[in-house]
Chains A and B, each alone.
Chain A
Amino acid sequence: MSRWIRAFGAFCYDFVIGDDWRVAVAVIAAMAMTYGVAAASIPAWWVLPAAVVIVLPMSLWRQVRTRRQRSSGQ
Chain B
Amino acid sequence: MSSGALFLAVFLACVVEAVEALTIVLAAGTSRDWRSAITGVIAGVMVLAVIVVVLGPAVTAIPLGGLRLVVGGLLLIFGLQWLRKAILRASGLKALHNEEAIFATELIAARAAPVDRRGVVADWYSFTLSFKGVVLEGLEVVFIALTFGANQRNIPLAAVAALAAVVLVAGVGVAVRAPLARVPENTMKFVVGIMLTSFGIFWGGEGAGAVWPGADAALLGVVPAVAVFALVLVVVLRRATAESSAPGPAGGGAVRS
Task: Judge whether B222 is part of the interface by a CB distance below 8 angstroms.
Answer: yes
Q: A57-B233, A64-B93 are in contact. Are A52 and B246 (CB under 8 A)?
A: no
**Contact between chains at B208 and A56 (CB < 8 Å):** no
Q: Does A9 contact B (CB under 8 A)?
A: no
B240 contacts A64, CB within 8 Å?
A: yes
B253 interfacial contact with A, CB 8 Å: no
Looking at A39, A48, A56, A57, which has the most chain B CB atoms within 10 Å of its CB?
Answer: A48
What is the CA–CA distance of A64 and B185 in the complex, to the nearest angstrom? 23
Question: Known interface pairs A48-B201, A71-B247. Does A38 touch B208 (Cβ–Cβ under 8 Å)?
Answer: yes
The size class of the interface chain A forms with chain B is: 35 or more
B255 part of interface (Cβ distance < 8 Å):
no
A71 to chain B, nearest CB (A): 4
Cβ-defined partner of B233 (8 Å) among A17, A20, A43, A60: A60
- Is there contact, CB below 8 Å, between A35 and B77? no
Closest Cβ of chain A to B8, distance in Å, is 20
Nearest CB in chain A: distance from B63 CB, A: 16
Interface size classification for chain B: 35 or more
A15 to B, closest residue via Cβ: B139
Structural contact, A48 and B246, CB atoms closer than 8 A: no
Residue of B nearest to A74 (CB): B247
Would you call A38 and B209 a contact (CB within 8 A)? yes
Looking at the complex, which one of B77, B229, B241 makes contact with A24 (CB distance below 8 Å)? Answer: B77
- Does B205 belong to the interface (CB within 8 Å)? yes
Seen from chain A, the residues whose Cβ lies within 8 Å of a Cβ on chain B are 15-20, 23-24, 27-28, 31-32, 34-35, 37-39, 43-45, 47-49, 52-53, 55-57, 59-60, 63-64, 67-68, 71-72
Offer 21 A-B interface pairs, CB within 8 angstroms, sorted by A: A15-B143, A18-B81, A19-B81, A23-B81, A24-B77, A34-B205, A34-B208, A34-B209, A35-B208, A43-B210, A44-B209, A44-B210, A45-B210, A47-B205, A48-B205, A49-B222, A52-B76, A52-B226, A53-B229, A56-B230, A68-B246
